[in-house]
Amino acid sequence: MKIGIIADLHLPKKELPPRPEPGKKPTPLPDDPITAGVKAFYEKAKEEKYDFVINLGDLVEGTGNGDDDYMTASMFSRSMISSTVNTYYVLGNHDAMFIPKDLLLHCSQTLGGAYSFIKEGVLFIALDANYSCDGKSYEPGASDWTDSYIPDAQKEFLKKQLERTDFERAVILCHQRLDLFMDGLEHVNPHVVGNAEEIRNILESSGKTALVLQAHYHSGDDTVQNGIRYYTQQAFFKKFAYSVLTVNENGFAIEKETI
């Protein structure tokens, strides 16, 4: 199984194309460089026959105008519909901070919230850490990205999922980091989820989690803690970086690539 991984597109605001003159064909607006890069990535995904793509969040940069940001996400999603490669979205803080979650859910079937799916014996569990530590969901105009949290309902969901007996190995997807990542010896870096330690305990005690895919920390990273690999995907918007995850009977292999 071959999976393409992208994250942190931070798409700029998309302009609405002008209405064509009567009887004339519409002239499409040229793509911004990030959208052009993503289209090149999907061409590759098609050529190399990726089974699917995982987008680890922060689709939009966010302008502060919810209608514009929703339009950007919608137009982008529509332009990707022609791709034959299915995409699983994970919600990022920029998505949740600029677009109401109930609208985001309409961008694609799986955008927003926690969910899971199984492919070839691997259980993928997407988490949504776009909550503040009081359990309140991020919403436009009132969110602090340094305060991220996985609320109780999702912890229960995660435990229940990991108790399933119909999978061999689990891969966790989360926009924010779940590994322990310190700023010197001073404090835990704010890109890490506030209650990440609790989540790591759940993952470790299940014994079936091999890999966590995360983003948000734009330079990327790759750590192993208590037998679990935490792979932080580098941001796409900076250097058109993506990764290819290969899953076979030997385990997981990740290759770093650029467009």
Q: Return the range that interacts with Fe ion (CB under 5 A); candidates 10-18, 54-62, 98-106, 243-251.
A: 54-62
| Environment class of 207 (CB within 10 Å of its CB; exposed 0-12, middle 13-18, buried 19+) | exposed
Tell the smallest beta-carbon distance from residue 2 to Fe ion (Å): 26
The single residue among 216, 220, 235, 241 that binds Fe ion, judged by CB under 5 A, is 216
190 binds Fe ion (CB under 5 A): no
Query: Does 69 help bind Fe ion (rule: CB under 5 A)?
Result: no
Q: Cβ of residue 3: shortest distance to Fe ion, in angstroms?
A: 21
Closest CA to 69 of 94, 89, 97, 99: 99
Say if residues 206 and 169 touch (Cβ distance below 8 Å). no
| Shorter beta-carbon distance to Fe ion: residue 177 or 229 | 177
Which lies closer to Fe ion via its Cβ, residue 108 or residue 176?
176
Report the nearest approach of Fe ion to the CB of residue 92 (Å). 5
- Measured distance CA(65)–CA(151) in Å, rounded: 27
Question: Token pair for residue 122?
Answer: 């691997």
Instruction: Classify strands 228-232 and 87-89 as parallel, antiparallel or unpaired.
Output: unpaired
- Half-sphere exposure (CA, 13 Å, Cβ side) for 253? 7
Applying CB under 5 A, does 92 fall inside the site for Fe ion?
yes
**Toward Fe ion, which CB reaches closer, 92 or 194?**
92
Q: Which is nearer to Fe ion, 216 or 229 (CB)?
A: 216
Comparing CB distances to Fe ion, the nearer of 8 and 68 is: 8
Structure-token pair, residue 82: 């022609």
Q: Is 128 in the site for Fe ion (CB under 5 A)?
A: no
- Between CA 41 and CA 73 the distance in angstroms is 18
Instruction: Find the part of the chain contacting Fe ion (CB under 5 A) among 26-34, 51-59, 71-79, 100-108.
Output: 51-59
Q: What b/e string do you get for 6-27 counting C-beta neighbours within 10 Å, with b at 16 or more?
A: bbbbbbbebeeeeeeeeeeeee
Q: Nearest-CB residue to Fe ion?
A: 216
Q: How far is the CB of 96 from Fe ion (least distance, A)?
A: 10
End-to-end CA distance of the chain: 21
Nearer to Fe ion, 92 or 151 (CB): 92
Q: Does 112 bind Fe ion (CB under 5 A)?
A: no
Under the binding rule (CB under 5 A), the answer on residue 58 touching Fe ion is yes
Chain contacts with Fe ion (rule: CB under 5 A): 58, 92-93, 216
